[in-house]
A and B are shown apart, each in its own frame.
Chain A
Amino acid sequence: MDRLQMRAMLWDMLRARAFEEAAAQGYAQGQIAGFLHLYPGEEAVAVGVLHAAEPGDYVVSTYREHVHALVRGIPAREIMAELQGKITGISKGMGGSMHLFDASRRFLGGYAIVGETFPIALGAAYAVAYRRLPEAVICFFGDGAVNQGTFHESLNMAALWKLPILFICENNHYQIGTEIHRHSAVTEVYKRACGYGIPAEKVDGMDVLAVHAAARKALERVRSGDGPQFLELETYRYRGHSMADPASYRPNVELNAYQANDPIAAAIHEAESAYPSPEAMAAAGADCISHFSDHCCQEGHLDEAEITRLRQEVQTEVDDAVRFAQQSAEPDMQDAWSIFHHNRRYEVLMETAQ
């Protein structure tokens, strides 16, 4: 991988982190409401995968999708404006944080119902395959989503019909407050895909280079007609499930719980304890951003000065996005109605019929 590409990936990771922290601030200040699910800690997943994607690929995501949208090219301004419910938002203030969509960037959306995205992604993949297009569909989902029936039904159909789809499981070990050992009989998620004959692999989701390499390989296979591929990326979210969630169910030192091999006891024991401290988060594993920036420096691709410059650059972009959102107008009810009633085909049909 060349220096420019590394720089571009680090840049995206930094802007992802800066964007989400600004969103958290906006929520604390009352500019953003609703369920706000943030991504810090998981940046290597979105950045590694989406940097391996082509512009023609489709992306289907969840409610934790700001960073997927951002890395996919939706301007920070339009995402932040959507979070603030403004008419300049990517969904015109009608969708909100969980419902970002952008047809031109082939971003098929953020969805709030867990598990409903698998068939959507399959549908897009079917339409692509049907037209013999060289495109792939990338479907992001969490470890909790794999227990919904749609997951199993969709894996079967994807494999049966060899659909061009890359499943990306963002395994952060939690389904809100329920730790993976308490929600899944098989905690190595990739093994479930193997059950359907889908090539699947577990990769360190905190290592952006590993994620990128795996995603590139998998996408190549998808494009060469090998059918669906599956990656389980092990990662960790630093914040609560959403801004409404103090994450009090989480053990302070996650690693200890794993070592003791008894997450239930650990979870109960720590149930009363506070939001994880920076030390606890550090103990849970290396932060993907510091890990990657250290790597870039050690290999001589970047130096501290340049990384500082990058940080300033992304902060400027995010500050601008926040300002833009704040200064934007709100939609009015007329906007809502006109979007709701817009049905071009029907109007054209009736015109020609008359």
Chain B
Amino acid sequence: MAELMYWQGILRAHDEEMARDPLVFAMGEDIGVAGGTYKATSGLFAKYGEQRVIDTPISENSYTGIGVGAAMVGARPIVEIMSVNFAWLAMDQLMNNAAKIHYMSGGRIRCPFVMRVPGGTAHQLGAQHSARMEKVFMGISGLRVVTPATPRDAYGLLKSAVRSDDPVVIIEHESMYNLKGEVPDEEFFTPLEGVEIMRPGKDVSIFAYNISVHWALDAAKKLASEYGIDAEVIDLRALKPLDRAGIAASVCKTHHAIIVEEDEAPVGVGSEVMAIINEECFFDLDAAPVRVHALDIPIPYNHRLEKAAIPNAGDVIAAVRKMFGR
């Protein structure tokens, strides 16, 4: 078991998959000679050459489409979009083609396309560089959407995504590339479906994903030590399809649910998880589920306002305490 950083997990997955299968190739802005904005493809250009590690022009929609076209005829592209804010420009190819080709062709043409993209609010990058787009990807039938919270899953999800015959969007996080964690030395695959219980507990289910898993874990520690509340922290990990059974199982056990998302609340991950809770285990609830989420405002540049706009562990604790009246 080695300790790797998040970016190193991604790099290792690329490297193993590219070494194994010559049809796997990577493309994106600055991923080759410059080694990737977050180093996640560093060294691959030298190792695999410019035909398999392609530095693209700033043409997001078109090179996403190139990935889709290549996937349709048997290649295994991993397209990196430098930041989720630029994925808006690639939405036509992603939504109209990647997601639908298999279906529109009556199941005759597969689209094993992978898009990797960091989302989230980093450090004062301003309103146009702080988007969180999971709600958008989640709304597209035909896509799989996954999001790693740990170096282990950063590795394992990319491995599975490359092997999957479906189009997969992997949402990373700009602030997590240097996060450290244990990654097994032997090859493994993180499932593209299903939740993972990060911390078992009996009093309240805290659903989180990506960076908010860490807020939830911090909160759970404090809730246990200071307020005697035993929280179960669940990493949703797969946002599409969401694991209805996994969500319901936890809520049936704890009878309380909190959903933590970095994004604004409307039409979001929290809305969706709440709907599932309503549909699956309404009568098991002891309290109305609560969302902890960002303010419904474009992210301000000022550092204090930026922090104020995004939730944190303290907000999770406050929400749970309020729910329990402690």
Contacts and interface: CB of A to CB of B under 8 A. Distances in A.
Interface in B26-60: 29-30, 33-35, 45-46, 50, 55-60
B70 interface: no
Interface string A95-115: 111110000000000011111
A264 interface: yes
B129 A35 contact: yes
A97 B34 CA distance: 24
Interface stretch (B151-159, B285-293, B297-305): B297-305
B62 A112 contact: no
Contacts of A86: 302
Interface string A54-65: 000000000000
A324 B30 CA distance: 38
Contact of A176 (B29, B61, B62, B124): B29
Chain A contact residues (Cβ within 8 angstroms of B): what range? 35 or more
B89 interface: yes
A177 B58 CA distance: 12
Nearest to B126: A96
A177 B61 contact: no
Given A94-B300, A336-B297, A178 B128 contact: no
Which of B45, B89, B128 has the most chain A CB within a 10 Å cutoff? Answer: B128
Nearest to B57: A147
Contacts of A178: 29-30, 33-34, 55, 57
B58 A145 contact: yes
A125 to B, nearest CB: 22
A98 B58 contact: no
Given A85-B124, A99-B301, A333-B308, 10 more contacts: A35-B125, A94-B127, A96-B126, A113-B89, A144-B57, A178-B57, A183-B58, A249-B34, A330-B302, A330-B304
Given A149-B59, A175-B29, A94 B34 contact: no
Contact of A34 (B62, B86, B124): B124
Contact of B85 (A91, A113, A177, A249): A113
B130 to A, nearest CB: 10
Given A34-B126, A35-B125, A112-B126, A94 B301 contact: yes
A219 to B, nearest CB: 28
Interface string A181-215: 01110000000000000000000000000000000
Contacts of B129: 34-35, 98, 112
A34 B301 contact: yes
B302 A94 contact: yes
B123 interface: yes
Interface residues of B, number: 37
A195 B124 CA distance: 40
Interface in B270-326: 297-298, 300-305, 308-309
A95 B304 contact: no
Nearest to A87: B302
Contacts of A264: 33, 50
Would you call the interface of chain A mostly helix, strand, loop, or mixed? Answer: loop
A352 B297 CA distance: 28
A145 to B, nearest CB: 6
A267 interface: yes
Interface string A66-95: 000000000000000010011000010111
B59 A147 contact: yes
Interface string A215-227: 0000000000000
Contacts of B300: 93-94, 331, 336
Nearest to A182: B55
B303 A112 contact: no
B268 to A, nearest CB: 19
B58 A112 contact: no
Contacts of B126: 34-35, 95-99, 112
Nearest to A271: B33
A135 B89 CA distance: 31
Nearest to B59: A147
Contacts of B50: 264
A331 B302 contact: yes
A268 B34 CA distance: 9
A337 interface: yes
